[in-house]
Structure 1
Amino acid sequence: MRRIKDKGPLTFTMLVALLIALRQFLGIYHFTDQGFALGMVGFLCLFLWVLPHWSLRFIGSIGIYAVTLYHYFPLGQSLGGAWLAALWRQLRPLLTMVREEGFGRTPSLLAFSLVFLAVCLIAVLGIEYEVFSLSYLSLLGYFLLLSIFNHLEVLPESLIIVLCGLLAAGFRHFRSVGGTAWLRYVLLGGGLLGLLYFAAVNLPDAWVRDPLASHSVTLRNRLNEAGLYNFVAEVGVGGNTRTGFGEDDEVLGGALVDDSTVLFRATQDSPHYWRVDSKDQYTGKGWLQHTTDQPQVIEGANFTVTHSETENFLHRQEIELTFESLDTYLPLPYGNSQITLNSGFSGFVYFENSQRVNLLVNEEETRQLSMLSAVPEFPVSALQQVGVTQGEDFDNYLRLPGSLPQRVADLAKELTQDAVTMYDKVNAIESYLNSSPEFRYSKVDVVAPLLDQDYVDQFLFESKVGYCDNFSTAMVVMLRTLGIPARWAKGFSPGTAIPSFEERKTYEIKNLNAHSWPEVYFAGYGWIPFEPTPSFTNPARPGTPEEEVTSSSVASSEVTEVSTTTTTTQSSESQGSTSETSQVQNEQDAEDSTATTNRKISWLVLGLLLVIGALVVYRYGVYWGMWLLCRFTTQPLAKGYPYLLRHLERRIPRKSGETLLAYSEKVVAQWPELADLMELTRRYESSLYGGQKETTDSRELLLTVMKELPKKR
């Protein structure tokens, strides 16, 4: 029981500080299920508080750490030795990456492992060993890093961390001198905590920021001259990679960062995917072009590209392209396109098998072209009647490496066991990849497979975290195990529409819009795109209504990373929808409603904290005022007695000319609990009129009387 009494307030302050810090981390890494981690921190503090023996507290802390880590990263295993082995396989290359590249970008698996371990250690330091300086300063250091590297405003949270540390130190002091003062201290601290948070959140930042900025000019200039800001910029950004569309896809995988450089702009009626290239040979690590593709050079300003075998088209639209980069590939919409070169180009290079078009560039600075695009119609009812195409011409689109694990084919067979037609099988695998809760979309958490791991197998059965390259490659490979011709295509998602009131919109397509997806061959229709990557919608996919893709869609995407130290180019993407479907709109409405509710709840909680804080200050403020007077003066009686007298007179009026001793007798007669007031009055008069020195116990007498005064109303 003594431990519970002694450690209770320390546990409370540490819990508040840890919850505030952990919420920031979970928000930065976009963990949607934050409640579990925050709840486990509560259990961690509870175990450190109430468990009687250190061994139980140690085991409990280890268990909480393991369960929390497993909840967010199960890695396709049950909690146990197999999971620990899989976890180490995932962490090992991440540790190597951080050792070589630094902490500029840290995947969430490694970041969560380290941060939650730090949470456990800080909790032990603050609750078990009461090392407040190291524990709370560590949390403040974390908020400093957030402010520097993530450009977050964390002043309110930092102030609360400071207050929690002061409350913990204050309680420890009161505990050492004995008495029940610690209870009032905790209640007062809780009220101050609410008041401080309310003020920090709602008062203008400029009230604090502007004075700090004006008084720190000299210091910041010196730090800038010393190179600190330059170092922060280099480390914070991670500065050793760039992203964009690349040609080398032989090795895929790994965490990536986006690049917002604009590549080209398109003025058109409606958004669509931009196809550039396709590849047919899966190596187990990435993609190559196996089929020999002799380029056809076409001189002149006009060329027609036929991507579709169907004669049925939904509509036609005129498109105008303006290029900002020096790349020679031509991004095209699905369907048939009549291209006219306007400036900057002199001809075309066409690759028939991959259906890729490159441009011959001249010396003109402006690079523009226009095209008339016919959007093909892929009716689902008709595709349901199409069977699997066979023949030597399609062997390359069925080829798989002999090292592909059998469980990939087994999974594909299991997913399509109830599908009757080829289209149903394609749709079943696509739905599994883009809708299954087993998979998580992320570009920063992706771990490159080890040397002995297959790229698809590692994604499907171990990491289950990936971006477009993972999802698209997995779908192509699984379709091929079923004997369905498929290939890997890449290009760009629709891009971002520049706001305007015109019917025809101009879209900016950036490096970060680079994307990859599978294509499946349907006889009579040609190569048809599908979209297994979560949150992406390709308007050319069969069964996709046009209204699902609007001009306001903002596409984040797959991109390609080019390392400054290697020649390997890898695809990457950032999560985002390329369309506004009704489902997305409903989800947005739900999110808005939830956000509104959360704001109301937050204001309610803050209001309650404000009321509680005001009540605590009202009831115990008198005592704490006396405590401060006694604490910071060498003459507590000379300073404290007039303070006590003023508050007594507010409750029991003092008559004009009434002596202090007579007034004290009247007060004690009404409130016998203040009997020590008589002794205080005698000592005060002796000191005031007789010149006697104050005794050492006068401070304790003052505090004893003041302790009873708040109870008298």
Structure 2
Amino acid sequence: MAKSNPYQRNVYAFLMHVFGFILLLEWILPLRDVTDTANLYVFVVFLLISFSLSFLQILPILSFFVHFGFMFYFIHILYMDGRFLSKDWLAYLWNDIKYNANVIWAQDWVAMTGLFRSILLFVLLWLVSYLVIYWILYRKQMLLFVIFTITYVAILDTFTPYQGNEAIMRLIVVGLSIVGFVHLERLKEREGVYRSGKLLIGWGIPLIIFILLSATAGYFSPKAAPIWPDPVPFLKAIGNGDGPGTGGGVRKIGYGENDSRLGGPFVPDDSVVFQAELTRTHYWRVETKDIYTGKGWDSTEGERAELDGGQNDQVAWMSDEVPTDAYSATLTMEKTYPHINYPLGLNEIQVEEEAVSFSLDESTEKIRTLDEDGDPIELEEYQMNYDFPRYYIEALKGAQPGTGEESNEEFVERYTQLPDSLPDRVVGLAEEITGSFNSRFDKVNAVERYFRNNDFVYETTEVAVPTGDEDYVDQFLFETMQGYCDNFSTSMVALLRAVDIPARWVKGYTQGEFVDVTDRSTRLFEVTNNNAHSWVEVYYPEVGWVTYEPTSGFSNPYSFVYQSVEENTGETTEEDDSIEQPEQPETDESNIPELDPGEDEESAGATGSNDGTWNFADISWKPVALFVASLVAAGALLFFGRNKWIPYFYILRYKGKRDEGTFNKAYPALLRQLHAVGLTRKDCQTLREYAKYIDDHFSTGDMQSLTARYERVLYRGDSSEQEWEKSVELWENLIKKTSS
């Protein structure tokens, strides 16, 4: 083992401490760009303190307390309110540590608090600073750590937003200097030269000059083009499903055919897919999938059917009993695909090209576009006519299971399919959610509400990927409880199928973002890759497939209405859990068609996020913050000053009353107020003893007089009204004293 005796505080030791500090600094600085770590200055100062204490060779026990003192003081600055090391401060810290201990035991690393993460980082810096000095001054072996540091910065520079050009230059200079000086120390020990300041100067200065000249020449010299291709696009392509091993990495949002492995974060992409000119907003379907595998979705092999002349005579999503309104829409594609984006209720597709045919996959309901030779063709513009449904709640509640398509066992098996590996607790949760409801409509709404009424969070970055035998739905429902549309929609389908309700997974796009009103008084919407979305369709006998939207922050474009109310009043009444009423875009209302039921704020022209959720960045936060701060300040003032104003509230409430029973309410109110100011009545005290205690405290006899009259009302049955009229001034004087 290396020497354990203290090193000499000389120029060499000082330089090694400086170089060691700079080396560790390169591990801290990237945290600002690659993590959510803020206030890095406290960690830098803590590291500087640690190296300073090491150089000064402070007593270990004193160094220990200094480290802990600064660490907890910095924690206080970052996270705590109130007085440093107060009783409440220590209690808060202890509770946070206990909570994080349970989190660590459960291996739920994401759930650790920021305070605890900061403590761990402080401790890690403390330990590593000690190890760096130990390696330099005692072991005299530093090359491996320098290589690790350079590799760390190079990886972050390649795969994260962190720019490491300057860091690499600093590491070359500092790293080579450390390695050179450490090698010099080893040579001195080998040759038995333990005291030679001239050797340090004569060997060290040329070393530093040579390193600086080499680094400068390397920085300014011309560089050859990279020999290897950039690995980042390749890895992103894999994550997007465009390379080998697809499905398990980072997903780039947008439409893709491979859904066999769901999960993981995605990279937002606001590139425009198409523009839609229409008068009624809705979702744009691309395809459905019916086989849930436990990791993602697959589809049954289906036959292909031709849509002659673009006429949809092959598939009907709703029965003839469902009332509909006829609409049309025109799509102009910015990104072309050999398939159609269409709304529910599609009747006809119209294109200018004559030699275009449409092929419908009867399993997925995906409509592909083909040329005259049967090869895929990508259309730049097409128009479609469709029926927009209006669902009556009476019909949905009256749907009888086992009728309609459900009389076909193959249909039921197909749309209630679940993998054998699905954990039992998913089925148990589905039965728990729906068990108290009778109709299918109520059961489905209960499942849809479950995601909104519990702690499920819409999240696009910190999204888990199931590994091993983990089930995608089970992981989301019971472990992470955060994700995006795929998590919500897949989980709702699985829960419905678990209680034998036919449901399927649908993917396509939301309505997009409102752009403008056209000369034809129609609305123009822009749909981007960020609007790619998945949702749920549930089958109701004698009604058809009905759209549901479980994802937090999104609204169902189709409304549920009571037929009786609509017929009597001509108004559309939505269920409590249906969509929110929209806002009108800020433009000339004379040229704008009326907003459609089901159109949300984003599609109506309010600027929103491209994924269909509210964009908080567009809110004017200053007045909101001022308003909230005012409310908080007013609430705090009222709460902490309640002993000042509550007595006058009681006076206002009881003083002017002379009815029977007022005394019986006012006296207990006085007791409550006395307790609130710390004059607590002990369990063994009678009212008379307590009254004497109060009079001794206030140096009066009012409480005993008031209590005697209260007891006459309470025990002798004297008139409460008369006794209150005699006692009201005593009561008022006493209760006012509690506010002084």
- In the superposition, the TM-score normalised over structure 2's length comes to 0.50
Matched letter for residue 406 of structure 1: D
Matched letter for residue 337 of structure 1: N
Structure 1 residue aligned with 2:443: 425
**1:526 has 2:550 as partner:** no
Distance 1:235 1:598 in 2: 47
Question: Is this contact kept in 1: 2:518–2:524, CA < 8 A?
Answer: no
Structure 2 residue aligned with 1:287: 297
Question: Which of 587, 593, 600 is 1:548 aligned to?
Answer: 600
Question: Is this contact kept in 1: 2:530–2:611, CA < 8 A?
Answer: no
Please list, as runs of the form range in 1=range in 2, the aligned pairs for 1:648-687 lying within 5 A after superposition. Answer: none
Distance 2:316 2:96 in 1: 50
> Bigger CA drift: 276-285 or 362-371?
362-371
Cα distance change on mapping 1:434 and 1:130 into 2, 3 Å? farther
Shift of 1:302: 4.0
Shift of 1:26: 5.8
Structure 1 residue aligned with 2:305: 296
Question: Is this contact kept in 1: 2:282–2:557, CA < 8 A?
Answer: yes
Shift of 1:117: 5.7
**Structure 2: 5+ residue stretches without partners:** 1-24, 54-59, 76-91, 137-141, 168-215, 243-251, 561-577, 582-597, 631-740
Question: Is this contact kept in 1: 2:33–2:161, CA < 8 A?
Answer: no
Question: Which of 470, 491, 503 is 1:474 aligned to?
Answer: 491
Cα distance change on mapping 1:538 and 1:287 into 2, 3 Å? same
SS in 2 for 1:271: coil
Cα distance change on mapping 1:424 and 1:17 into 2, 3 Å? farther
Cα distance change on mapping 1:342 and 1:460 into 2, 3 Å? same
Structure 1 residue aligned with 2:470: 453
Shift of 1:490: 1.4
Shift of 1:267: 1.8
Shift of 1:430: 1.5
SS in 1 for 2:351: strand
SS in 2 for 1:248: coil
**1:465 has 2:499 as partner:** no
Please list, as runs of the form range in 1=range in 2, the aligned pairs for 1:590-669 lying within 5 A after superposition. Answer: 591=621, 593-594=623-624
> Bigger CA drift: 144-153 or 501-510?
144-153
Shift of 1:297: 1.6
SS in 2 for 1:433: helix
SS in 1 for 2:504: strand
Cα distance change on mapping 1:386 and 1:344 into 2, 3 Å? same
Cα distance change on mapping 1:249 and 1:122 into 2, 3 Å? same
Structure 2 residue aligned with 1:642: none
Distance 1:414 1:380 in 2: 23
Please list, as runs of the form range in 1=range in 2, the aligned pairs for 1:299-448 lying within 5 A after superposition. Answer: 299-303=308-312, 306-313=316-323, 315-343=325-353, 346-361=356-371, 367-389=380-402, 390-391=406-407, 392=409, 393-443=411-461, 445-448=463-466
SS in 1 for 2:352: strand
Distance 2:541 2:61 in 1: 70
Distance 2:124 2:493 in 1: 46
**1:249 has 2:259 as partner:** yes
Cα deviations by residue, 1:74-129 (Å, 9 ceiling, x for unpaired): 99x95353x13x65xx9xxxxxxxxxxxxxxxxx99x9999986565336667999
> Bigger CA drift: 486-495 or 248-257?
248-257
Cα distance change on mapping 1:589 and 1:319 into 2, 3 Å? same
SS in 1 for 2:549: coil
Distance 2:117 2:619 in 1: 35
Question: Is this contact kept in 1: 2:338–2:368, CA < 8 A?
Answer: yes
Shift of 1:253: 2.9
Distance 1:277 1:577 in 2: 19
Question: Is this contact kept in 2: 1:44–1:61, CA < 8 A?
Answer: no
Distance 1:510 1:307 in 2: 26
Cα distance change on mapping 1:150 and 1:597 into 2, 3 Å? farther
Distance 2:417 2:61 in 1: 60
Shift of 1:407: 0.5
Structure 2 residue aligned with 1:79: 103
Question: Is this contact kept in 2: 1:344–1:366, CA < 8 A?
Answer: no
Cα distance change on mapping 1:42 and 1:539 into 2, 3 Å? farther
Matched letter for residue 552 of structure 1: G
Cα deviations by residue, 1:606-647 (Å, 9 ceiling, x for unpaired): xxxxxxxxxxxxxxxxxxxxxxxxxxxxxxxxxxxxxxxxxx
Shift of 1:348: 1.6
Cα deviations by residue, 1:126-149 (Å, 9 ceiling, x for unpaired): 799999x999xx999999999997
Distance 1:44 1:410 in 2: 52
Cα distance change on mapping 1:40 and 1:465 into 2, 3 Å? farther
Please list, as runs of the form range in 1=range in 2, the aligned pairs for 1:43-62 lying within 5 A after superposition. Answer: 54=64
The number of residue pairs the alignment matches comes to 471
Shift of 1:411: 1.2
Shift of 1:593: 3.7
Shift of 1:519: 1.0
Cα distance change on mapping 1:279 and 1:554 into 2, 3 Å? farther
Cα distance change on mapping 1:18 and 1:246 into 2, 3 Å? closer
SS in 2 for 1:343: coil
Distance 2:352 2:261 in 1: 37
Distance 2:316 2:549 in 1: 22
Question: Is this contact kept in 2: 1:489–1:518, CA < 8 A?
Answer: yes
SS in 1 for 2:255: coil
Question: Is this contact kept in 1: 2:339–2:378, CA < 8 A?
Answer: no
Distance 1:147 1:419 in 2: 56
Question: Is this contact kept in 2: 1:280–1:289, CA < 8 A?
Answer: yes
SS in 1 for 2:399: coil
Q: Which has the higher contact order (CA 8 A, sep 6+)?
A: 1
Question: Is this contact kept in 1: 2:50–2:67, CA < 8 A?
Answer: yes
**1:491 has 2:518 as partner:** no
Cα deviations by residue, 1:183-231 (Å, 9 ceiling, x for unpaired): xxxxxxxxxxxxxxxxxxxxxxxxxxxxxxxxx9x968946x5559986
Distance 2:482 2:269 in 1: 21
Structure 2 residue aligned with 1:122: 125
Distance 1:40 1:309 in 2: 66
Cα distance change on mapping 1:227 and 1:113 into 2, 3 Å? farther
Matched letter for residue 479 of structure 1: L
Shift of 1:461: 1.9
Cα distance change on mapping 1:496 and 1:419 into 2, 3 Å? same
Please list, as runs of the form range in 1=range in 2, the aligned pairs for 1:152-191 lying within 5 A after superposition. Answer: none
Question: Is this contact kept in 2: 1:553–1:579, CA < 8 A?
Answer: no
Matched letter for residue 294 of structure 1: E
Distance 1:254 1:112 in 2: 26
Question: Is this contact kept in 2: 1:530–1:541, CA < 8 A?
Answer: no
When Rg is computed on C-alpha atoms for both structures, the one with the higher figure is 2
Question: Is this contact kept in 1: 2:557–2:599, CA < 8 A?
Answer: no
Shift of 1:317: 2.8
Matched letter for residue 612 of structure 2: T
Question: Is this contact kept in 2: 1:435–1:534, CA < 8 A?
Answer: no
